[in-house]
Amino acid sequence: MIEIDDEKPRVVAMLSIERDEPLRLAVGVPAVRGPEEDRRRPVGGDLAVDQVLSADREGAGGVVSERQSGRQREIRRTARARTGDRQRRVFRYVGGERDTTPGKGEKARDRKRGGPNALHHDIGCDVQPPGFVIIISVDEVQDLNQLIRELNEDRPPRGEGGSSAQLEAWLQTLVERAGSDLLLVAGAPPAIRVDGRILPLPHAPLSGEDIEEAVLPALSARGRASYAQDSVADLSFKLRGTGRFRINLHRERGRAAAAIRALPTDPPRLASLGLPQGAEALTRLPRGLVLVGGPTGSGKTTTLAALVEEINRRDARHIVTIEDPIEYEHTHQSSLVEQVEVGVDAPDFPSALRAAMRQAPDVLVVGEMRDPETMRIALAAAETGHLVFTTVHTTDIASAVSRIADSFPAERQNTIRQELSMALGAVLTQTLLPKKGGGRIAAAELLVVGYGTRQHIRKNALQHLHQEIALTKKQGSITLEESLARLAREGLVEVEEARARAAHPEEFENHLRAG
């Protein structure tokens, strides 16, 4: 039975399980009874407002999502119901009264009457006008779970749209032409980045509405809520038969825009990136903090994935990655790999990192240290015997180190430098250069931290860190100028391009002549 009496109904659900009977899912919006002028209006029905309840055939546990007062927010709770030998296992909302007495605030209070099968919780939200009810029988648990997931994600059920053929066509073109990014900007046709160059596609200029119509259906409920509230959404997206992508939907000049990056299916091997030989030694460090720096789009995430893949293939360790969003998917090989996505598996980086510390990890990978709290926990993890990899948006080793201390209040910076000097294991910074014949290749600078480096960090004498690279060359350290000169000598990049990237031109010329 389907009865619709509201343009924007909110979803509630009941799941009941009977012995030897198919699973039944009731989805609906409870009706409001009583005249509009009544201050106290009872809310009837089997369910509380705005719930989607999920459970499998074996258990009576479920996940509740609640959307309140026009804002989207998720509350997760576990519901349990006692089960007799022949008793139905039912989640029921046993009723309540909505108190709209003046002075109680905008959010109403629901008073619930309990029972042995009652699902107890507190809600405070506006009650919609009479909505709709759907009763569905499903024979397979997988079909039921899929339906519940679609409802919980606020997506249309299968076969009722919810995807953008236009976006899929653009992404297919991006993959076929081996591009890295799809860029959608109002007032210009869609464009793709191939080997670092922006190439427009044969399409009319887009409007902000065109971009939203193409991209919004690909977002999850969390992504759409983030875009509606903060005007930005950043998450991963998988298109069957095409690949995985990282979507960043944002606004500029009051209009929608999007940057969508293609993610390789498999993590790269470290040897394929052309990094200095000393980079492999980072995977053999027993403990410490390893910083991977570089400007946006310089391949920092790819380098992190390659380092994790190297450890995963070689060592029997427990690896926990924390990312926003997950870009490379790692399989369990010699190691066990857990991948936590911020916004899906954890609310933020600090919460995820604190939880990971209690999961007995050997290796922690933090996609990005965005705030002092994340930095503080990562430092503590490195000091207590963990190997921690993370990225920072900097262009050289000195600025990568200073970024950590400078993120804290002035009165704490000296203490942080002391901790950083003990915890830091290595710093790798990189940049991408156009490669002869097409493509791009990385030039890198690597400092393996030794006694002298620790002393300079303690004293905040970071201008001497470049000299420390030469002193620790036997441990695998290498300057950016040496890396650029090697690429130029081997004919992989143009000499002029390499010379323009060198921070110390004279040193670059010396290495170039020495080869």
In tens, the pLDDT along 359-401 reads 999 999 999 888 999 999 999 999 999 999 999 999 899 999 9
Short-list 458, 311, 468, 305, CA closest to 391: 305
Residue range 444-473: mean pLDDT, rounded = 95
Q: What's the pLDDT tens digit per position in 181-212?
A: 999 999 999 999 998 889 999 999 999 999 99
Q: What is the pLDDT of residue 164?
A: 76
Tell me the residue length of the chain. 515
User: Is the Cα dihedral 5, 6, 7, 13 positive or negative?
Assistant: negative
The pLDDT-based confidence of 56 (bands split at 50, 70, 90) is: very low
- Residue 285 near residue 307 (C-beta atoms within 8 A): no
- Residue 150 near residue 142 (C-beta atoms within 8 A): no
Cα separation, 353 vs 363, in Å, equals 12
The side-by-side arrangement of strands in the sheet containing 255-263 is: 197-200, 191-194, 181-185, 255-263, 243-252, 233-239
Token pair in block for residue 208:
């902000």
Q: Please name the residues in contact with 500: beta carbons below 8 A apart, sequence gap of 6 or more.
A: none
Select from 3.30.450.90, 3.90.1170.20, 2.60.40.420, 3.40.50.150 the CATH code of 165-263.
3.30.450.90
Higher local confidence (pLDDT), 153 or 214: 214
Residue range 72-99: mean pLDDT, rounded = 31
The answer on pLDDT for 238 being more than 70 is yes
Q: What is the pLDDT of residue 483?
A: 95
Cα separation, 311 vs 305, in Å, equals 10
Percent over 70 (pLDDT), the chain = 68
User: Is the Cα dihedral 114, 115, 120, 124 positive or negative?
Assistant: negative
The answer on pLDDT for 511 being more than 70 is yes
- Residue 350 near residue 251 (C-beta atoms within 8 A): no
Does the reported pTM lie above 0.75?
no
The letter for the amino acid at 251 is R
Token pair in block for residue 399:
């600025």
The boundaries of every CATH 3.40.50.300 domain in the chain are 270-478
Q: What's the pLDDT tens digit per position in 423-434?
A: 999 999 999 999
Higher local confidence (pLDDT), 151 or 191: 191
- Residue 412 near residue 379 (C-beta atoms within 8 A): no
Cα separation, 77 vs 164, in Å, equals 33
Higher local confidence (pLDDT), 135 or 385: 385
Residue range 468-496: mean pLDDT, rounded = 94
Phi, then psi, of 384 in degrees rounded to 5? -95, 20
Q: What is the pLDDT of residue 165?
A: 87
Per the prediction, the chain carries an average pLDDT of: 75
The answer on pLDDT for 73 being more than 70 is no
- Residue 294 near residue 394 (C-beta atoms within 8 A): yes
The answer on pLDDT for 510 being more than 60 is yes
The pLDDT-based confidence of 461 (bands split at 50, 70, 90) is: very high
CB atoms within 10 A of CB 348: 15
The side-by-side arrangement of strands in the sheet containing 40-43 is: 40-43, 96-99, 109-112
Distance of CA 358 to the CA centre of its chain: 21
- Residue 12 near residue 138 (C-beta atoms within 8 A): no
Higher local confidence (pLDDT), 475 or 137: 475
Q: What is the pLDDT of residue 146?
A: 54
Cα separation, 335 vs 500, in Å, equals 41
Percent over 90 (pLDDT), the chain = 55
Q: What is the pLDDT of residue 221?
A: 84
Q: What is the pLDDT of residue 515?
A: 65
Select from 3.10.20.600, 3.40.50.300, 3.90.550.10, 3.40.50.720 the CATH code of 270-478.
3.40.50.300
Token pair in block for residue 99:
């108190």
Q: What is the DSSP letter of 305?
A: H
Q: Can you point out the beta strands (E) in 45-166?
A: 67-68, 71-72, 89-90, 96-99, 109-112, 133-138
Q: What's the pLDDT tens digit per position in 306-354?
A: 999 999 999 999 999 999 888 889 999 999 999 999 888 998 999 999 9
User: Which DSSP helix (H) or strand (E) runs through 367?
Assistant: none
Query: Which string of DSSP letters, residue by residue, matches 407-474?
Result: TS-HHHHHHHHHHHHHHEEEEEEEEEEEPTTSSEEEEEEEEE--HHHHHHHHTT-GGGHHHHHHHTGG
- Residue 303 near residue 430 (C-beta atoms within 8 A): yes
CA triplet 487, 366, 330: central angle to 5 degrees? 75
Q: What is the pLDDT of residue 467?
A: 93
Tell me the range of 97-101, 152-156, 417-421 where mean pLDDT is highest.
417-421
Q: What is the pLDDT of residue 191?
A: 96
Query: Which string of DSSP letters, residue by residue, matches 123-152?
Result: ---PPPSS--EEEEEES-HHHHHHHHHHHH
The boundaries of every CATH 3.30.450.90 domain in the chain are 165-263
Cα separation, 453 vs 471, in Å, equals 10
Q: Please name the residues in contact with 422: beta carbons below 8 A apart, sequence gap of 6 or more.
A: 383, 454
Q: What's the pLDDT tens digit per position in 77-90?
A: 333 333 233 223 33
Q: What is the pLDDT of residue 476?
A: 93
Q: Please name the residues in contact with 351: beta carbons below 8 A apart, sequence gap of 6 or more.
A: none
